[in-house]
């Protein structure tokens, strides 16, 4: 597989992870139900993507600028992770302002990266 195809596949994966995080609460809940996972899984998926993105800097799959576009999402998820357990309940996805901030940051990153990777 060429490095161009590798980068394209990698970018699609990052955008898909951001799509889930940026989705409205009802779609996030549908995702959790159909995937049979808990709320923390959407954060863990982003964590995997973020760590892979950091590693990809050395493989030229992502620029430093693009990687930095992910940082606000990471910061908001870190804040939730350090908060109380109630934010990891399904109801919190629709009720907690912290999750709205995650969705907003993810949507911003999704838009910026989607435009950069066209």
Predicted local confidence at residue 2, as pLDDT: 56
Predicted local confidence at residue 85, as pLDDT: 84
- The position carrying tokens 């549908």 is 30
Determine the Cα–Cα distance for residues 19 and 28; give it in Å rounded to an integer: 10
8-state DSSP, 36: T
What pTM did the predictor assign? Answer: 0.92
Predicted local confidence at residue 1, as pLDDT: 45
Q: Does 114 have pLDDT greater than 60? A: yes
- The DSSP result for 37-64, as a single string, is --THHHHHHHHHHHHHHHHHGGGTSS-H
User: Who contacts 98 (Cβ-Cβ below 8 Å, separation ≥6)?
Assistant: 76, 79, 80, 83, 87, 92
Mean confidence (pLDDT) of the chain: 93
Are 86 and 36 in contact, with CB atoms under 8 Å apart? Answer: no
Could you tell me the residue ranges of all domains in the chain? 3-116
Determine the Cα–Cα distance for residues 11 and 69; give it in Å rounded to an integer: 13
């Amino acid at each position: 597989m060429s490095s161009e195809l590798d980068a394209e596949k990698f970018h699609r994966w990052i955008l898909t992870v951001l799509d889930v995080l940026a989705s409205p609460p009802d779609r996030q809940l549908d995702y959790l139900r159909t995937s049979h996972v808990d709320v923390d899984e959407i954060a863990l998926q982003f964590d995997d993507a973020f760590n892979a993105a950091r590693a990809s800097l050395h493989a030229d799959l992502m620029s430093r600028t693009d990687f930095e576009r992910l940082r606000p999402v990471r910061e908001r998820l870190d804040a939730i992770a350090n908060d109380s357990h109630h934010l990891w309940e399904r109801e919190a996805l629709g009720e907690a302002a912290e999750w709205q901030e995650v969705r907003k940051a993810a949507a911003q990153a999704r838009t910026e990266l989607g435009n950069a990777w066209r």
